[in-house]
Amino acid sequence: MTSKLAISISISSVAVVLACLHLAFPSWAIDAKTLVLVGIAILPWLGTVFESLELPGGWKVKYRDLKEAEEKAKSAGLLDSSPETGAPSYMAIADRDPNLALAGLRIEIEKRLRKIADTKGIDSQRLGMGQLLRRLSDAQAISPNQRSVLSDMTSLLNDAAHGAEVDDRAAEWAINVGPKLLATLDERVGN
C-alpha cells in the first residue's frame, strides 16, 4: 500500500469515527460539525479524481487531465507519427490564447476524422463527434481503444472551446502533442 493511500485511509477513518462518535450522543445532532467531519473524510479521495477544487462554481481544463489523455493516446497508437508538414494553424495563437489553441486542435482532429470517414465511405456530415467515432470504430478505421481515447480527449478540448479556464501548460501540451496526433490521423487518411 502506498503512503498516499495509507494517509488517505487514515484521515478518512479518523473523520468517520469522529462523525460516528458525534452522532452516538443524543445531545449531538447532525450539524455543521458532522458535515465538516464527513467532508474531511471525503477530501483525501478527491485528489485522485480532481487536481484542485474550486469554489464557488466553474470548471477547469487541467494540464494533468491532458497529460493523462496523452498517455492513453500513446498506448492506443495515436502518437506514433512525427509531423512532416507545417505547423497547424492553432499553434500561432497558442501562446496568447490557450482556450483558442485547444479549440483549434479540437477542430483539426475533427477535420481529419471526417476525412478518414470519407475514405471509408461514411457520410459524416450530420454526425456529432461521438457518433463519428462510433462509426469509425465500427468500420475498423480506428480501434475501440483509440475511439475511447479520442472521445476523452475531444471532451477535454470541448471544455476549453466552451470557455473553461485552461491551465497555462495546456497550450504547451497542444503545441507538443497536437502535431503528433494530427500526423497519425493524417496517415490514417492516406491509408
For residue 54, tell me if it sits in a domain. Answer: no
Overall size of the chain counted in residues: 191
> What's the confidence (pLDDT) of residue 43?
59
Whether 148 and 72 map to the same domain: the answer is yes
In a domain, residue 160? The reply is yes
Q: What is the pLDDT of residues 143-169, one digit of tens each?
A: 888 888 888 888 878 887 787 777 767
DSSP 110-125: HHHHHHHHHHTT---T
Pair 128, 172 in one domain: yes
Domain match, 78 and 163 both:
yes
- 105 and 134 together in one domain: yes
Instruction: Please state, in angstroms and rounded to a whole number, the distance separating the CA atoms of residues 41 and 17.
Output: 10
In a domain, 158, yes or no: yes
Residues 6 or more apart whose Cβ sits within 8 Å of residue 12: 41, 42, 44, 45
pLDDT at 56: 46
Q: Is-contact 75 65, C-beta < 8 A?
A: no
In a domain, 52, yes or no: no
Q: Where are the beta strands (DSSP E) in the chain?
A: 60-61, 165-166
Residue scoring higher pLDDT (32 or 53): 32
- Do residues 75 and 151 share a domain? yes
Number of domains in the chain: 2
Cβ neighbours of residue 44 closer than 8 Å, sequence gap 6 or more: 7, 8, 11, 12
Residues 88 and 32 both lie in one domain: no
128, 160: one domain: yes
Q: What is the pLDDT of residue 162?
A: 80
pLDDT given at position 117? 92
Structural domain harbouring 42: 3-46
**Residue 56, preceding bond cis, omega within 30 degrees?**
yes
User: 39 with 67, same domain?
Assistant: no
